[in-house]
Each structure stands twice: as structure tokens, then as C-alpha cells.
């Protein structure tokens, strides 16, 4: 009688025909193989994690050990439209893109007022894309939504930081895309007026983007941290929504778009382009946290200056030429 499985044994017996005294040995061998495979996978994953951490330390210093927060965090922005301007200022390269979003209204002339979105790249990456994409090109931008703090004015400005650009020149019927997806934790919410509320969403996430210096398709990784202001139209339930549903600590999943326009910023002293994230749909992820004391916003937001988001006509491509921008 066979005491252990051999190649001959496996050829002779089908799985259901293996003698009883061999089955425990067969099971043990299979378990050993499974454990060996799992250990190999674990070792490979640990090596990949260590290599990623080393790379993060080189590129991000003390932030290398930062973790995604919250665990389900998402910060994705996607825009497809026409480039109306490309310019460089200091270390920043900016693409001014016009694109619409579902539900946009027509102005008095019957034309759809497209949003004006500024997508920003930094350093060599900006120069790389500026050489390849010019005014009047149709392109798709992958990006993240970030908040820039102007400390001398105690102000927060919504910005879009580019990750990559793809050409739409081969698309026979290019379609506008204006989409923002955020999953993050609420830090504060406030009712702006009878219809609108503003909520600050905390996101901290590692994102990959193409390494423009690599010839073999490698990626580079950076940590993006932001407290992003999102405007929410709650209709007649805005007060209840801001006080009881958009509570501090609640994690929310937001699908929305960017509303971009030109304002005459009295505090900064010049006209400039600003952008706001508008929520089209917002849902709680997990439990809605208990309502705290009256929510307040202590930060001045230039996005509130001028027209209310979603009300009235937005700027056209011609409106933005020549305006100053922070």
C-alpha cells in the first residue's frame, strides 16, 4: 500500500478514488504547496511595498509614510474640452480649457455657456505637455482637485492639478466631459443661503501619474492633501441638510463637476478666474455622525464673491482672455 503520493499515484487514482490512507498525505502536500505559494506572494508584496516606500522617501521626504485618509478616499477629476490658452508663469504651466456639463443652460444668445477650467502643471511636466498641446486642441485632462491657501488674505482657492493629458484629435465627435469624484471626510459645513450649503471635504491620497522622464512607461507617485470646498444645492431642505446630514466626521461620496467663471475680486484687487466644485449627487459612506454645535465656516472663500454658482450666465471663452490670475 502506498504511504505517500507520487507522480505514479496521481496518475493511477482519480481524486475521488485515492485510498483513505493516502488522502491525509495528499491534503498535507496540497496545504504545503498553498502555504509556499502564499509565502512567495507575501515576500513579493513586501518587496514591492519596501521599494515603493523608498521611492516615496526620495520624492516626498517625511511625507513618505503618510497613509490614505480616509481609507476609501477618492480624488478624481476628468475634463475633456477645447484648449483656449496655454501659458507659463514661474514654475507653473496653465491650460485654460472650456467644457460643459450635463444640464447646462443657454444664454440670451442661445449659446451654451461653457465652464472655464484652469488645469495646472508644475516644473518640467508642465513644459512637457505645453510642447505637445496647443491652443485650439481638443484634449482630455486627468487631474485632482486641490485647495490653495492664500495666507495674506486668509483665503482658500479651488485649483485643479493635472496628472496627465491625452489628445482627442482622433475623435470624430469629441464630447465634453466635466466630472469630479470625491470621497472624503467632512470637516465643516455651513448654510450659505436658502438654497446652497458649503462643505469642506478632507482628502489625503497617493496618486500615480506618468513619469515623463521614463522611456519604459514607469509611473511616479505623489501625496495629494486637500480641504476642498464643495457647494451643495439642498433646495428647501438646505438648513436641515447642513445641520443634520453634512455633519463633521461623516464620510461622503460626491459626484459633481467644476463651475468656472471670472469674478471681480475686491479683496485681491483684480479680476481673475475662479472654480467651484458643485455636487450633483452626494451620499454618506457608512454612518452619518451626530450633529455638532452650529456649523461655522471661519475661512473667507473667494468663490463666494460675485454670482452664486449655478445662477445666471457663466463666462465664455472670449471673456477670459487677458484677465489676471493669482
pLDDT in tens, the chain (326 residues): 444 454 444 445 555 555 555 656 667 677 777 777 776 667 666 766 666 666 666 666 777 778 888 889 999 999 999 999 999 999 999 999 998 876 777 777 777 778 999 999 999 999 999 999 999 999 999 999 998 887 777 778 899 999 999 998 887 777 889 999 999 999 999 999 999 999 999 999 999 999 988 888 888 889 999 999 999 999 889 999 988 999 999 999 999 999 998 778 777 688 888 899 999 999 999 999 988 644 444 434 443 333 333 333 333 333 333 333 33
Inter-CA distances, 1 with 4, 17, 20, 71, Å: 9, 14, 11, 55
Asked if residues 129 and 163 have their Cβ atoms less than 8 Å apart, the reply is no
CB 279 within 8 A of CB 222: no
In 244-315 the beta strands, taken as DSSP E runs, fall at: 251-265, 270-284
Listed in order, strand segments (DSSP E) in 113-218 are 115-122, 138-150, 155-167, 177-191, 196-210
Give the C-alpha separation, 88 to 301, whole Å.
25
Q: What is the DSSP code (8-state) at residue 22?
A: T
Alpha-carbon separation of residue 24 from 4, 17, 21, 32, 159 (angstroms): 9, 13, 7, 12, 63
Give alpha helix (H) positions in the chain: 7-12, 23-60, 123-132, 238-240
pTM: 0.73
Amino acid at each position: 500500500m502506498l504511504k505517500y503520493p507520487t507522480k505514479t499515484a496521481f496518475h493511477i487514482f482519480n481524486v475521488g478514488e485515492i485510498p483513505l490512507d493516502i488522502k491525509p498525505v495528499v491534503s498535507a502536500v496540497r496545504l504545503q504547496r498553498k502555504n509556499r505559494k502564499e509565502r512567495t506572494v507575501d515576500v513579493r508584496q513586501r518587496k514591492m511595498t519596501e521599494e515603493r516606500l523608498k521611492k516615496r522617501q526620495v520624492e516626498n521626504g517625511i511625507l513618505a509614510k503618510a497613509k490614505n485618509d480616509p481609507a476609501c478616499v477618492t480624488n478624481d477629476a476628468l475634463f475633456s474640452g477645447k484648449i483656449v490658452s496655454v501659458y507659463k508663469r514661474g514654475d507653473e504651466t496653465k491650460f485654460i480649457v472650456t467644457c460643459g456639463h450635463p444640464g447646462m443652460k443657454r444664454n440670451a444668445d442661445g449659446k451654451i455657456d461653457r465652464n472655464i477650467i484652469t488645469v495646472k502643471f508644475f516644473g518640467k511636466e508642465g513644459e512637457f505637455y505645453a510642447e505637445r498641446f496647443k491652443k485650439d486642441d481638443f484634449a482630455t485632462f486627468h487631474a485632482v482637485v486641490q485647495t490653495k491657501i492664500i495666507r495674506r488674505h486668509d483665503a482658500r482657492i479651488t485649483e485643479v492639478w493635472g496628472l496627465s493629458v491625452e489628445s482627442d484629435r482622433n475623435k470624430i465627435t469629441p464630447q465634453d466631459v466635466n466630472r469630479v469624484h470625491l470621497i472624503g471626510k467632512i470637516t465643516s459645513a455651513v448654510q450659505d443661503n436658502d438654497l446652497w450649503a458649503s462643505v469642506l471635504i478632507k482628502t489625503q491620497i497617493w496618486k500615480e501619474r506618468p513619469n515623463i522622464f521614463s522611456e519604459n512607461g514607469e509611473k511616479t507617485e505623489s501625496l495629494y492633501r486637500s480641504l476642498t470646498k464643495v457647494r451643495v444645492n439642498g433646495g428647501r431642505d438646505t438648513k436641515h441638510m447642513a445641520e443634520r446630514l453634512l455633519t463633521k466626521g461623516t464620510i461622503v461620496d460626491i459626484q459633481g463637476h467644476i463651475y468656472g467663471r471670472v469674478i471681480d475680486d475686491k479683496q485681491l484687487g483684480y479680476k481673475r478666474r475662479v472654480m467651484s466644485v458643485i455636487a450633483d449627487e452626494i451620499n454618506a459612506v457608512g454612518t452619518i455622525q451626530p450633529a455638532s454645535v452650529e456649523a461655522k465656516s471661519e475661512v473667507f472663500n473667494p468663490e463666494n464673491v460675485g454670482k452664486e454658482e449655478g445662477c445666471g450666465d457663466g463666462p465664455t471663452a472670449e471673456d477670459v482672455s487677458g484677465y489676471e490670475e493669482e
